[in-house]
Amino acid sequence: MLAEGKAGPRVLLPGAQVEVRLDNSAALVTVDGHQRYQEQTYRQNMFSLTLAATSTGVAAGNIVAAAAAASTNFALFNPASSGKLLVLQKFGMGIISGTPGAGPLFHGFISNVPTATATGTIYNNYVTGASGSVARSYATAAGTTLTGGAAPSVLRIANFSSTNTAQASVGELNAIEIIDGDIIVPPGAGWLPLWGAAGTSLLNAYSISWEEIPV
């Protein structure tokens, strides 16, 4: 099949039907119509959960090799009956004070949803929009015990790593990771960040953003 095209930009009225656009070498020209996540945010399918600060150090449930039902500062779960997938988009972590344990931060998962009372507030990324999220959130400075949850497993390394260094020595330290959909939380499972070690008096903040789509 021969696809017709025309070189160079054009000024068009809405609804005009024209050939595809080519450059002077006959290569097909494509450009972004809008920002990457704009449409799903506009449709109010994008959500965020934030914990502004932990208060008593890294909870046991946010450390590699955590036991089942350990106390957890930050986690996101997808109820088994939600009918939606949680497609993770962006993860944030910022150090406030203290000394992190040496090594990387990890993305972890739990294979079932705990029975504990959810904490934290999920917001729609279309600001002032109704939340409407199907997710269950756990975001509490002091930590909450995820009763009935399985022990977390390590999925992969996140984009933050540190030596065992006091924050007074290294100054500002933060991490924003664009996950861009390569981690998906299906119904009946959960996601959480996992440190390699508790560190010393480490206080930090977390955030996670995701899109919800039908299964």
- Show me where the domains of the chain are located: 44-214
Q: Per-residue confidence of the chain (215 residues) as pLDDT tens digits? A: 566 788 887 788 878 888 888 888 888 877 777 888 898 999 999 999 999 999 988 999 999 999 999 999 999 999 999 999 999 999 999 988 888 888 899 999 999 999 999 999 999 999 988 879 999 999 999 999 999 999 999 999 998 888 777 765 665 566 899 999 999 999 999 999 999 999 999 999 999 999 999 99
DSSP string over 36-49: TTHHHHHTT-EEEE
Phi, psi angles (nearest 5°) of residue 169: -90, -30
Q: How far apart are the first and last CA of the chain?
A: 35
What integer pLDDT is reported at residue 194 of this predicted model?
98
Element (H, E) at 94: strand 84-99
Q: What pLDDT sits at residue 2?
A: 66
> What are the CA-CA distances from residue 170 to residues 65, 92, 93, 99, 176 (Å)?
28, 19, 16, 10, 18
CB within 8 Å of 206: residues ≥ 6 apart: 50, 51, 73, 74, 91, 92, 93, 139, 193
CB 164 within 8 A of CB 101: yes
Place of tokens 């996601």: 191
